[in-house]
Amino acid sequence: MDTGQELTQLPPEAMRQRVLQRACAFVAMDHGLLLEWGTDNNVQTTASHGNADRLSTLETVADPLAIGPQWLERSGPDLPCVLLLPLRGADEGCFGTLMLANSVGINAPDNEDIESLQLLATLLAAHLENNRLLEALVVRERTMSELVRQLFTAQEDERKRMAYDLHDGLAQTLAGLHQRLQGFAGRCPELPEPLDADLQAILKLAQHCVGEGRQLISGLRPSVLDDFGLLQAVDKEADRLREAGIAVQWTSRSQARLPSHLEIALFRIAQEGINNVFKHAGASRVELALELSNDNVSLSLEDNGRGFITEKPRNGSSVQKLGLVAMQERASLLGGRLTCFSRLERGTRLRAIVPFTADKATT
């Protein structure tokens, strides 16, 4: 009979049928049936060998509580001899049975043959249970990926709504306030120096609030991303670094427009990376790259900052670690990956690579 290693090379359906046929041939029995119980205890026939009408009488013989092989001799013309071999999982529960039957009466196989058949059934059970666990894991991962995708989608929708609300509400109010203050300052007579200094301070504060509001709106949903694409949006985001005195250099610039979901995800990755440089890196130089090849698009960010130990973030960097996880999740949802390489005092390099066919890009 086949070994366990040979069985693993087969897909589950072929594995079931192979085991059933080889088991029948091993003890010279001309009918066989493989039954499995689902999570709701419904019985499924997953493999069969022999006459279908005769096999239909075997389902009532299956014993879900069986703990070992059973030899049955039945009255009647159809399949008078039946050998039951339970399929038991790691939790010792029976989730199926391998049934061998013969159309004419025969003597029971000897104990050694039955033990060999039970060993084969046990090997089959182990492989089937592994497949079940793998399928459950795949379903769980798909469910988790879908939940994460829905979460990111909800976040983007909420960001967009907040950006529009801020633009039409608070931002307009602040801009109007600043204009009214400017008009007042231009119309009022010359003020004493202390009052004039206070008025100028108020004007600067109002102007600062207007700028902060615009920056907040841009961070929530940068209009440049929708209007001009990923490259310009990331470059504008990098203005935060330039304003802080950090040199920003593009080593590769792809002007191609990507699908909206790709641009949004890659922009958020770049935004988080730039935010980490701004808050944590202490860098003086940052290199950015956006490259489009035949089968993928990559976004890279490298700084010359203080770096960190990738496996164990430094104290106070738990928020940065969460940001890294979020970036990895975004890349993973696109079918890609995000790598992070960092060494103390040697800087950090982030690179997101996601699959994308270049001929689908627009300019």
Long-range contact set of residues 230-237: C-beta below 8 Å, sequence gap at least 24:
230/257, 230/258, 230/262, 230/263, 230/266, 230/267, 230/290, 230/299, 231/255, 231/290, 233/263, 233/267, 234/267, 234/270, 234/271, 234/274, 234/288, 234/290, 234/299, 235/288, 237/267, 237/270, 237/271, 237/274
In a shared domain, residues 125 and 241: no
Stretch 21-35: mean pLDDT: 92
Report the CATH number that the domain containing residue 36 is assigned in CATH.
3.30.450.40
pLDDT over 70 percentage in the chain? 91
Q: For residue 77, is pLDDT > 90?
A: no
Calpha distance 349→82 (Å, rounded): 66
**SS3 of 249, please?**
strand
Q: For residue 3, is pLDDT > 70?
A: no
Output the pLDDT for position 76: 72
pLDDT confidence bin for 214, thresholds 50/70/90: confident
Stretch 332-357: mean pLDDT: 88
Output the pLDDT for position 20: 92
Stretch 250-274: mean pLDDT: 87
Domain with 49, as residue range(s), is 4-138
Calpha distance 141→78 (Å, rounded): 47
Question: Of 115, 138, 161, which one is at a domain's C-terminal end?
Answer: 138
In a domain, 204, yes or no: no
In a domain, 25, yes or no: yes
Q: For residue 352, is pLDDT > 50?
A: yes
What is the domain count for the chain? 2
In a domain, 275, yes or no: yes
Stretch 238-265: mean pLDDT: 88
How far is CA 270 from its chain centroid?
19
Q: What is the pLDDT of residues 142-195, one digit of tens each?
A: 887 777 778 777 877 777 777 777 777 777 788 888 888 888 888 877 778 888
Calpha distance 277→238 (Å, rounded): 10
In a domain, 209, yes or no: no
Highest mean pLDDT among 16-20, 35-39, 332-336: 16-20
In a shared domain, residues 124 and 12: yes
In a shared domain, residues 129 and 237: no
Calpha distance 22→150 (Å, rounded): 48
In a domain, 79, yes or no: yes
Structure tokens at 150: 């829905």
Output the pLDDT for position 313: 45
Calpha distance 334→332 (Å, rounded): 5
In a domain, 216, yes or no: no
pLDDT confidence bin for 295, thresholds 50/70/90: confident
In a domain, 148, yes or no: no
Average pLDDT across the chain, whole number:
83
Which residue has 């990956």 as its token pair? 337
Stretch 71-97: mean pLDDT: 84
Indicate the range of 6-10, 113-117, 253-257 predicted with least confidence: 6-10
| pLDDT: which is higher, 216 or 108 | 108
Question: Of 91, 118, 138, which one is at a domain's C-terminal end?
Answer: 138
In a shared domain, residues 126 and 234: no
Report the CATH number that the domain containing residue 273 is assigned in CATH.
3.30.565.10
- pTM (2 decimals)? 0.55
Residue 103 contacts residue 82 (beta carbons within 8 Å) = no
Q: For residue 318, is pLDDT > 80?
A: no
Give the Cβ contact number of residue 20 at 10 Å: 24
In a domain, 35, yes or no: yes
pLDDT confidence bin for 301, thresholds 50/70/90: very high
**Cα-atom radius of gyration of the chain, to the nearest Å?**
34
pLDDT confidence bin for 47, thresholds 50/70/90: very high
Question: Of 138, 169, 203, which one is at a domain's C-terminal end?
Answer: 138
Which of 298, 232, 312, 306 minimizes the C-alpha distance to 276?
Answer: 306
Output the pLDDT for position 322: 61
